[in-house]
Structure 1
Amino acid sequence: MTAVRTAAIRGARRTEVAAVAELLAAAMAEDPLSRWLHPVPEWRLAELRGSFEVEIERVCRPALGAHVLVDPDGALLAAALWTPLPYRLSWLQQARLRTALRGLHGERDPYLQHVSAATFTAAPQRPHWHLLAIGTDPAARGHGHGRALLDFGIARADAEGLPTHLETTEPARIGFYARAGYRIAAEVDLPYGGPRSTILCREAS
């Protein structure tokens, strides 16, 4: 009998940083927050890729908070970025991160800072994991890859006894997270015509 080959979840490798960033950029290109922060369609994918590369390299760090789901041949199907909060970065590392992101976001950087401030005000005020991004290759949607990655991250947080939080500007995603045990903690209307951001939290179980 031939063994059934299935998809697997593992930590992202450092050689995969660019590929993971590209996958997430494609997955989130039409997200309301992405369209608001990156309003020029022709530039959006490149700007998102650059932002995700910075986040993976300096905050999530592969094998710590960057998870990927791959098919039996190793092709990336989905990815999730989890950030441990409070940041496990030195003051200098955080300053360098802010400088890099400011360079990528340009005049939209103050908008992003507003998003961050609103989000972290509603987030658990104790050590926890923040789901920064999760996405599936558009060509591989509809097979439960996103839920598998979400459950994987939740299981780790539960094992550590830590809560998790995330935010979404896509109303259709709220039910997806609710089914995984998340509850709405706050809703924030972003400035300058931005979308509504819903912050969701989940206690460890």
Structure 2
Amino acid sequence: MPLEIRPAGRAQVTGLAQTLARAFADDPVWSYVFPDPDARLARILPRVFSAQLRYFHLRHGACDYTADDGGRTVAGALWNPPGTWRTSLRDDLVSLPAAVRAAGRRLAVGFSVVRAMEKVHPAEPHWYLALIGTDPGVRGSGHGAALLASRLAAVDAAGLPAYLESSNPVNVPYYEGFGFRVTGEIRPGRGAPVLHTMWRPAGGRG
């Protein structure tokens, strides 16, 4: 049976943040920003993703998730509709206390990565896939593919392109299977891993 794609709301913040933390626990870029693996998984990433959801992503109503048979969130995708990918000064100020609690002394490193990403973000109207992740325990069972296919169908129906940054080179071929193509690289700083920028034309036709 096809997986049910559900819209995320406030009630899903904790579960979705924890799922994304497990999904990105070994991600090269997040590991660069937060090098302590135990703190990254148990404390930092759940707080970071929770803050992003509460103060930014949920406002745009484009967060999707899937659950297992017991109702536990096992995968999620955070999208931004056209014109909403950049946080405002108000967003930054309101979320700053939560960001400090989550990132601590590594906050400046995290901001350097964000600034590098913002410098090359496309100006053309598009849907932006900010994050997508699947709990390692169910990885390979189609949850991520279902999330991507569902949202991209709506993007195609609107006749719009889509954009993402892949923080792990292993995932580049996966996204290429959905019509994304590598357009460039982002090098956030000395010793930092490379992010690949990927663009999907309207309709997925390159």
SS for the counterpart of 1:29 is coil
* 8 Å CA contact retained: 2:3, 2:146: no
Match of 2:53 in 1: 56
Conserved? CA contact 2:9–2:58, under 8 Å: no
- Write the distance in 2 (CA, Å) between the matches of 1:63 and 1:130: 12
Q: CA RMSD in A?
A: 2.2
- Give the letter aligned to residue 66 of structure 2: L
Deviation for aligned residue 1:132: 1.4
Most deviating of 108-117 and 17-26: 108-117
**TM-score, normalised via structure 1 length:** 0.87
Structure 1: how far apart are the matches of 2:160 and 2:97?
Answer: 30
**Compared CA separation, residues 183 and 138, structure 1 to 2 (3 A):** same
**Structure 2 residue 75 is the aligned partner of structure 1 residue 78:** yes
Q: Which residue of 2 aligns with 1:12?
A: 8
Which amino acid in the other structure matches residue 188 of structure 2? L
- Which secondary structure state, in structure 2, belongs to the residue aligned with residue 134 of structure 1? strand
Deviation at 1:108, TM superposition (A): 2.4
Structure 1 residue 115 corresponds to structure 2 residue 79: no
Is it true that 1:47 corresponds to 2:44 in the alignment?
yes
SS at match of 2:5: strand
The answer (yes or no) to whether the contact 2:74–2:135 under 8 Å persists in 1 is yes
Count residues with an aligned counterpart: 201
After the TM superposition, which residues 146-165 of structure 1 pair with which residues of structure 2 at under 5 Å, given as runs?
146-165=144-163
Residue 87 of structure 1 pairs with residue 77 of structure 2: no
Q: What is the SS of the residue equivalent to 2:132?
A: strand
Structure 2: which 5+ runs fail to align? none
- The alpha-carbon deviation at position 47 of structure 1 amounts to 0.5
8 Å CA contact retained: 2:116, 2:187: no
In structure 1, what is the Cα distance between the partners aligned to 2:94 and 2:60?
21
Once the two structures are TM-superposed, the CA of residue 185 in structure 1 deviates from its matched residue by 1.8
How far has the Cα of 1:103 moved from its partner?
4.3
Match for 2:14: what amino acid?
A: A
Contact 1:12 / 1:62 at 8 angstroms: preserved in 2? Answer: no
TM-aligned CA distance change 1:96 to 1:31, over 3 Å: same
Q: Could you say if the C-alpha distance between residues 52 and 104 of structure 1 is closer, same or farther in structure 2, counting changes exceeding 3 Å?
A: same
Report how far residue 130 of structure 1 moved. 1.7
**CA distance, structure 2, for counterparts of residue 155 and residue 120 of structure 1:** 26
Q: Residue 35 of structure 1: which of 31, 40, 48 is its match?
A: 31
